[in-house]
Amino acid sequence: MSVTRRALMLGSVAAFALPSSRGLTEQDYPNRTIRIVVPSSAGGPNDIPARLASQFLPTRFGQSVLVENRAGAGGALGTREVAKAAPDGYTLLSGGAGMMAVIPALSASAGYDPIRDFAPIAKFMEAFQILLVNPASPWQTVAELVAHAKDHPGTVNYAHAGIASIPHLAGEMFRLRTGAGIIGVPFRGGSEALVSVLNNICQLTFENVTIALPMVREGKLRALAVTSAIRSPLAPELPTMIEAGVPDYEVTTFFGLEAPAGTSPAIVAKLNRTINEALAMPELREAITKLGGLSELGTPEEFGRTIAAHFARWQELGKATGIRLD
């Protein structure tokens, strides 16, 4: 074999073994293991898209999917890692609203920009909170709660899971949108915050629907409204905050997959299409609903607009309240 021919063959092997995103076509991708980084500990909500993807992507692509939990810095550590990864479609992020909106909006040291450094792929689900009060309280509606808090400023406390947690942000947005003089009380986690309302130490809190609804059904807590823009199929009897009279109020969390910026649009489109096909399956939609989420099929561009809207919302709230993570 001539030296020239051998060099060409070796070059072809090397090119196959080390594909670049520019050289890949939609048909080529994927030809090796896909790694999905979850920037939090195993078992949390950010795990959901990654674990679901690790089940259905291999059956469609014929390649394995490795889920890697990279907790640290509140989620920024793993998120920064993916932002700096090669944009070849083989390192993805299972990033929710905390990593893709809250942290970069409220911290100058996040180390990444959610708009500039990522290519959105698909949103798996969007979840919401429920405004809860102790059943011994006199308030049957949001309007009654707001009226009381305005008439008695500083006497109504809301429990939350720490600075910049979703219950904290939900409470501060409630305070701003209503003018109610409520005071946030931080606890070491959502469980402690919830217990404080169960014991009537704090008067209200915001909690995820799947955690809150069983206690509401048992009469341990009273639900006044949901924080989503539309009513939930899990609790259709509960009004949204907007319906309850709180203007321009929406607090939700999203969970989805993102790739490093610069990833081939063909690869992003193929991933998006495959994920949407899976999300259209009734059994998967039912599973997501039971987790307290709403699943909507959408394009990468639509998911990008969701990320940008959440990012802008928390930037605005941070400026108005002084909430910072630094």
**Assigned domain for 152 exists:** yes
Question: 101 with 142, same domain?
Answer: no
Of 138-142, 239-243, 280-284, minimum mean pLDDT range? 280-284
Angle between helix 47-61 and 282-290 (nearest 10): 170
Question: 90 with 141, same domain?
Answer: no
pLDDT confidence of 28, banded at 50, 70, 90? confident
The answer to whether residue 58 scores a pLDDT higher than 90 is: yes
CA distance 127 to 293: 4
**Assigned domain for 161 exists:** yes
Could you read off the pLDDT of 105-149 as tens digits, one per residue? 999 999 999 999 999 999 999 999 999 999 999 999 999 999 999
Q: What is the mean pLDDT of the chain?
A: 91
Q: How many residues does the chain have?
A: 326
Question: 209 with 161, same domain?
Answer: yes
The answer to whether residue 2 scores a pLDDT higher than 70 is: no
The mean pLDDT value for 253-258 works out to 96
pLDDT confidence of 26, banded at 50, 70, 90? low
The answer to whether residue 9 scores a pLDDT higher than 80 is: no
Question: 164 with 109, same domain?
Answer: no
Question: 181 with 218, same domain?
Answer: yes
Question: 47 with 84, same domain?
Answer: yes
Q: What is the pLDDT of residue 45?
A: 85
**Assigned domain for 281 exists:** yes
Question: 201 with 272, same domain?
Answer: no
Question: 133 with 111, same domain?
Answer: no
**Assigned domain for 198 exists:** yes
**Assigned domain for 232 exists:** no
Residue 259, domain extent:
27-124+254-321
Of 7-21, 60-74, 239-253, minimum mean pLDDT range? 7-21
Q: Alpha helices, DSSP H only, in the chain?
A: 3-17, 47-61, 76-83, 97, 103-106, 142-151, 166-178, 190-198, 209-217, 265-279, 282-290, 300-321
What CATH number does the domain containing 222 carry? 3.40.190.10
**Assigned domain for 120 exists:** yes
End-to-end CA distance of the chain: 63
Structure tokens given for 232: 């939930």
The answer to whether residue 5 scores a pLDDT higher than 50 is: no
Could you read off the pLDDT of 140-165 as tens digits, one per residue? 999 999 999 999 999 999 999 999 99
**Assigned domain for 6 exists:** no
- Residue 228, C-beta contacts closer than 8 angstroms, at least 6 positions apart: 126, 128, 240, 250, 252, 294
What CATH number does the domain containing 56 carry? 3.40.190.150
How many CB atoms are closer than 10 A to CB 61? 16
Containing 223, the helix (H) or strand (E) segment is: strand 222-226
Count the domains in the chain.
Answer: 2
Nearest to 105 by CA among 262, 280, 321, 284: 321
157 bridge partner residues: 183
The answer to whether residue 245 scores a pLDDT higher than 90 is: yes
| Domain final position from 226, 245, 278 | 226
Q: What is the pLDDT of residue 21?
A: 42
The answer to whether residue 283 scores a pLDDT higher than 50 is: yes
